[in-house]
Structure 1
Amino acid sequence: MGQFLLVDSRKLDGFEGLHQAVHGSHVDVMQLGRGRLRGTLSHVGIGDFSLSIGTFNVGMRTQRVSSDNKLIIGMLLAAQERVAHWSFDMQLNDVLVIPPLLEHDGVFHGPSAYAAIRFDLTEVASLFGGEARLGDPDTWRSRGHFRADRESGAIASRRLVRIMSHLRSNTHGLTPSTADFWKRSIVECMAANVMSSLPPDDTGWLPSARRLIRRVEQHLDEAGTRPVHVSEICAALGVSRRTLHRAFQEVFGLGPVTFLRHKRLCTAHSILHASAPGSTTVAAVAMEQGFYELGRFSQYYFAMFGEHPSQTLGGGAPRQNLEPSGHEF
């Protein structure tokens, strides 16, 4: 028997598909850019080790609270606009280290592509054994940002995509020896960028704008799916609208009112996406999310997602069907 636990590839048609952006790890996502999200998501699993590659065509906000002891190492493969993780601004082929049990957040301001590997920290010594520093598990216990060398970074990025394509088309499984080879080949792509970079940029703390955004999002999490008005946030956090506006513009490139509307639209999309026809109505969902004019809600919704609310209602199941896809790039 081959050792693949998973080989799958799917086309994305909605931001909900990115909840599984990294195989084995749930990611909370919110669409920031306008338009119907399109993209691809591919996973290859070798034992407890996985490689995920994803692409998407609109801006996204991603958050993850780890519930396991897995290490995640990611690489930015493509980006048309700014990409930031924690307080780090990412450039093409940069490597990001997300240690076990550490909360992570990122903002993709436009179409992007990424690769991410996820594995147990106990495998570090064997997979990175050729380099003493990288083979030390303590090296990976702190978040890190490694700036990629331009030339070697581009090579590593292309190699990861080719490896994914090859493994995805392999229908015979892997023997233990070939499984180990491919895991090391994948890890080597990440390690090459780490070793060619400057020391990790791990001295920057979250600036005040991001700290304020974190407080806002904690308040929104506590509110659940109910709509939250900007004035409620200002009162609860004791900040002025001007301060709040500056923070949102710095982090997201959007004002807080627009951000909150996008969040309510995303919540409405998820509810409609998961609901069976006849179980609810577009008007009811719009009202629950604070949209009192159905016509205006429909305009916002279509501008955001490229489809009418009635098209989303009950249409979620077919979009999740797995289907083979070609090369991502």
Structure 2
Amino acid sequence: MGTHLLVDSRRLDGFEGLHQAVHGTHVDVMQLGRGRLRGTLSHVGIGDFSLSIGSFNVGMRTQRIASDDKLIVGMLLTAEDRVNHWSFDMRPTDVLVMPPLVEHDGIFHGASAYAAMRLDLDEVASIFGGEPRLADPESWRHKNHFRADLDVGHVAASRLSRIVLQLGSHDGALSASSAEFWKRSIAECMGMTILSSLPPDGNARLPSARRIIRKVEDFLEEAGTRPVHISEICVALAVPRRSLHRAFNEVFGVGPVTFLRHKRLCAIHSILRESIPGTTTVATVAMQQGFYELGRFSHYYRAMFGEYPSQTLGVPVGELIDQQL
């Protein structure tokens, strides 16, 4: 049975549209800047987990008193002027932690864009379990501000926007495994940004590379053809992401993300070879395996297998849909 996917994108014509700035909550909003407010607001909901991305062209005052036990983790994507949350002066790519039942207070002095992830506090351990400093739910019960490495932050911000675009183009429910992959992909953008702001963890163990790889491959074998996110491996094996990178680079000469991408490409190749043209599409299979940029996916696929994915599916050359991606 599929997992319900909610995707809602709209244009804003007035500050009232920002009352739902974060999916599932109400935000009190007052316009500070002069002029007619224009903007956009998109929500992605995967079960009880959600991501909201919004933008607006004038200064705003926002206030929210949490009435539930949800955790909100927000990222400032762009800002043309000062942005203050609580006592924090924020710059683009900074991350803000808004714990359950804590009042949120923000001032945007000009046009801005943001992303906000909303989830159950109980999910923190399962999503960030491979990173001890993020896996403890108690560490998320305090409001906090993280100033990320700018390069890491820009990559994460761009990735969040692309994920929303891709999920918005998907018609129908997600499989349970695909929903879990996409949820982890969103959470990773926030997590990697927070980790880049923290000092190196000098207490991390460094188990042997080949022992780690053997455990990873056993885990992947049990997973079969479903997409596996790197954070899932870190949680299941209790291995920090840095140790995973070291092990994969030592044994395979590539990082774990590249290795997992190759594995997903192989899974797609096998699915397409066994499918009958007309019963599925390349875009559907790629989506279920966690690829959110179909043009880049087609490039990866052809570079690896020497043919377009539609050719593997058996679509006549004149009808290759890949050329339209």
Q: TM-score range by the shorter chain?
A: 0.5 to 0.7
What does residue 38 of structure 1 align with? 38
Q: Report the residue type matching 1:109 in the other structure.
A: H
SS state of the match for residue 196, structure 1? helix
Q: Report the residue type matching 1:116 in the other structure.
A: A
What does residue 143 of structure 1 align with? 143
What does residue 187 of structure 1 align with? 187
Question: Does residue 70 of structure 1 match 2:56?
Answer: no
What does residue 127 of structure 2 align with? 127
What does residue 156 of structure 1 align with? 156
Identity between Structure 1 and Structure 2 (%) = 71
SS state of the match for residue 154, structure 2? helix
Q: What is the CA-CA distance between 1:172 and the residue it aligns to?
A: 2.3
Question: Does residue 79 of structure 1 match 2:114?
Answer: no
Q: What is the CA-CA distance between 1:62 and the residue it aligns to?
A: 0.2
What does residue 250 of structure 2 align with? none
Inter-partner Cα distance in structure 2 for 1:4 and 1:162: 20
Matched length: 199
Once the two structures are superposed, residues 192-240 of structure 1 have per-residue CA deviations (whole angstroms, 9 ceiling, x without a partner) of: 11001047xxxxxxxxxxxxxxxxxxxxxxxxxxxxxxxxxxxxxxxxx
Q: What is the CA-CA distance between 1:36 and the residue it aligns to?
A: 0.3
Matches within 5 A, 1:264-283: none
Indicate conservation of the 8 Å contact 1:79/1:113, yes or no: yes
SS state of the match for residue 145, structure 1? strand
Q: Report the residue type matching 1:89 in the other structure.
A: D
Question: Does residue 114 of structure 1 match 2:106?
Answer: no
Q: What is the CA-CA distance between 1:135 and the residue it aligns to?
A: 0.9
Indicate conservation of the 8 Å contact 1:81/1:108, yes or no: yes
Indicate conservation of the 8 Å contact 2:94/2:145, yes or no: yes
Indicate conservation of the 8 Å contact 1:49/1:118, yes or no: yes
Indicate conservation of the 8 Å contact 2:29/2:61, yes or no: yes
SS state of the match for residue 96, structure 2? strand
What does residue 96 of structure 1 align with? 96
SS state of the match for residue 134, structure 2? coil
Inter-partner Cα distance in structure 1 for 2:50 and 2:188: 14
Question: Does residue 53 of structure 1 match 2:56?
Answer: no
Once the two structures are superposed, residues 235-278 of structure 1 have per-residue CA deviations (whole angstroms, 9 ceiling, x without a partner) of: xxxxxxxxxxxxxxxxxxxxxxxxxxxxxxxxxxxxxxxxxxxx
Structure 2: runs of 5+ lacking an equivalent: 200-325
Which stretches of structure 1, 4 residues or more, deviate above 2 A after TM superposition? Answer: none
What does residue 168 of structure 1 align with? 168
Indicate conservation of the 8 Å contact 2:77/2:157, yes or no: yes
Inter-partner Cα distance in structure 2 for 1:67 and 1:90: 25
Inter-partner Cα distance in structure 1 for 2:50 and 2:165: 14
Matches within 5 A, 1:188-203: 188-198=188-198
Q: Report the residue type matching 1:73 in the other structure.
A: V
Indicate conservation of the 8 Å contact 1:92/1:148, yes or no: no
Q: Report the residue type matching 2:68 in the other structure.
A: D
Q: What is the CA-CA distance between 1:7 and the residue it aligns to?
A: 1.0
Inter-partner Cα distance in structure 1 for 2:2 and 2:110: 38
Indicate conservation of the 8 Å contact 1:61/1:106, yes or no: yes
Indicate conservation of the 8 Å contact 2:53/2:115, yes or no: yes
Indicate conservation of the 8 Å contact 1:73/1:190, yes or no: yes
Structure 1: runs of 5+ lacking an equivalent: 200-329
What does residue 249 of structure 1 align with? none
Q: Report the residue type matching 1:78 in the other structure.
A: T
Q: What is the CA-CA distance between 1:52 and the residue it aligns to?
A: 0.2
Inter-partner Cα distance in structure 2 for 1:56 and 1:173: 30
Q: What is the CA-CA distance between 1:58 and the residue it aligns to?
A: 0.3
Inter-partner Cα distance in structure 2 for 1:30 and 1:198: 34
Larger relative contact order (CA 8 Å, sep ≥ 6): 1
Inter-partner Cα distance in structure 2 for 1:5 and 1:66: 24
SS state of the match for residue 67, structure 1? coil
What does residue 16 of structure 2 align with? 16
Inter-partner Cα distance in structure 1 for 2:133 and 2:151: 23
Q: Report the residue type matching 1:105 in the other structure.
A: D
Inter-partner Cα distance in structure 1 for 2:2 and 2:32: 40
Q: Taking structure 2 as the reference length, what is the TM-score of the superposition? A: 0.60
Inter-partner Cα distance in structure 2 for 1:33 and 1:134: 37
Inter-partner Cα distance in structure 2 for 1:56 and 1:176: 34
Q: What is the CA-CA distance between 1:132 and the residue it aligns to?
A: 1.2
